[in-house]
Structure 1
Amino acid sequence: MISRLPLDEQLGCLRATLSRNDVLMEVLARTAGLQLPGWYVTAGCLFQTVWNVVTDRPPTRGIKDYDVFYFDDHDLSWEAEDAVIQAGRRLFADLPAEVEIRNEARVHLWYEEKFQVPCPPYTSTEAAIDSFAATTCCLGVRVEPDGRWRVYAPHGLSDVFNLVVRPNPVLAPRTVYEAKVARWLGQWPELTVWDWPTAGGRARS
């Protein structure tokens, strides 16, 4: 089990597993070329690649899109973010997947309208990753200019490899978590899912 491995070996295992997804590797390599401030490839494309590999499925199976977060609080205009989005569309146009790029410094401007709860302004990309609806989602990877992988995993990697999903009730409402869980269980029925904490935090398989 990966939870029994030293941390450096866990990171090596993560890299080896994610490297099985050729689309993800292209997204990482090409995003590095955009030189976006504080960027990470994050969320579903990472932990779902792990789930696929662990359960002997094709690495890209069931992955809806590839999320790229960056943080630029010097220009909060939609026009500045859209210029980056359009550059990304041209860069990733030939990939067989949707790549969604978002400036996390702007999330507080639209989040409440979409999810009916206010979102304080983030101070970094890492802070945005911290607020995902499930702790399993809180994972980001980028490639540094020297080729090193930078991995942000505030809740560790054990749950990701053990197919455990836990709620992270710091921002997203319960409905968002439960909608995601329902979709994930349809693709990966092997998951062990923890209920929203108001139900006592009990797990169900």
Structure 2
Amino acid sequence: MTVTGYRATAQRPDVLGRLPGDEQLDAFREALCRNTTLVDVLDRCTTLDLPHWYLAGGCLFQTVWNVVTNRPPDEGIRDYDLFYFDDTDTSWSAEDARIRAGRTVFADLSAPVLAPRTVYDAKTARWKHQWPTLTVLPWP
């Protein structure tokens, strides 16, 4: 993919973070579409008629890391966590509460520091093994 004069490849993944937001979103979508397992999971999710479903972030960021490091898009991804909330309250405040609850249950939805330290250490050790060029920040 050519973006604003740069070739966004594993040799220049740092370029992606400096692109305008809409181009970053396009690059993100392109990376995710390379993971056929992820696309299949999303296709199947739409047929389940689940209320308020979300795909947790772990499989998303791991797909991106694989793409920018020239690995198969689904390499090392152990699972694709889908969760949903069967709740009749569809207000914005109820939706926000569900998201916050989901972040507590599924720590990989957001930054790993939401998980207990033992979980953070285990996940980051596995990620560092999988993606050796990954920079792991120390536990705060």
Q: Deviations over 1:132-177 (max 9, x none)?
A: 546xx42xxxxxxxxxxxxxxxxxxxxxxxxxxx6424xx211111
The whole-number CA distance in structure 2 between the counterparts of 1:12 and 1:130 is: 25
Equivalent in the alignment of 2:121: 178
**Aligned residues with identical type, % of pairs:** 58
Partner of 2:97: 123
Q: What is the total number of aligned residue pairs between the two structures?
A: 118
> Residue 11 in 1 paired to residue 45 in 2?
no
Could you list the per-position Cα deviations for residues 84-117 of structure 1 after superposition, in whole angstroms to 9, with x for gaps in the alignment? xxxxxxxxxxxxxxxxxxxxxxxxxxxxxxxxxx
Structure 2: distance between partners of 1:123 and 1:167? 19
- Aligned equivalents of 1:128 and 1:191: distance in 2? 28
Amino acid at match of 1:127: R
**Paired residue secondary structure (1:192):** coil
Find the residue that maps to 1:40 and give its secondary structure: strand
The Cα of 1:35 is off from its aligned counterpart by 2.0
Residue 54 (structure 2) pairs with residue 55 (structure 1): no
Pairwise CA RMSD? 2.0
**Is 1:18–1:24's contact at 8 Å kept on the other side of the alignment?**
yes
Give ranges in structure 1 of 5+ residues lacking alignment.
75-121, 139-165, 198-205
Distance 2:107 2:55 in 1: 17
Instruction: Report if the CA contact (8 A) 1:167-1:194 is conserved.
Output: no
What's 2:91 paired with?
none
Matched, 1:23 2:32: no
Give the conservation status (yes or no) of the 8 Å contact 1:167–1:196. Answer: no
**3-state SS of paired residue (2:47):** helix
Is the CA contact (8 Å cut-off) linking 1:49 and 1:59 kept in structure 2? yes
Change (3 A) 1:29 1:167: closer
Q: Which amino acid in the other structure matches residue 36 of structure 1?
A: L
Deviation at 1:129, TM superposition (A): 4.7
Which residue number corresponds to residue 136 of structure 2?
193
Tell me the residue number matched to 1:146: none
Aligned to 1:119: none
| Structure-1 separation of matches of 2:50 and 2:125 | 33
Counterpart-to-counterpart distance in 1, 2:101 and 2:34: 26
Larger strand percent:
1
The answer (yes or no) to whether the contact 1:39–1:70 under 8 Å persists in 2 is yes
Q: TM-score, normalised by structure 1?
A: 0.52
Q: TM-score, normalised by structure 2?
A: 0.74
Which consecutive residues of structure 2, in runs of 5 or more, have no partner in the other structure?
1-14, 89-95
Give the AA of the match of 2:130. Q
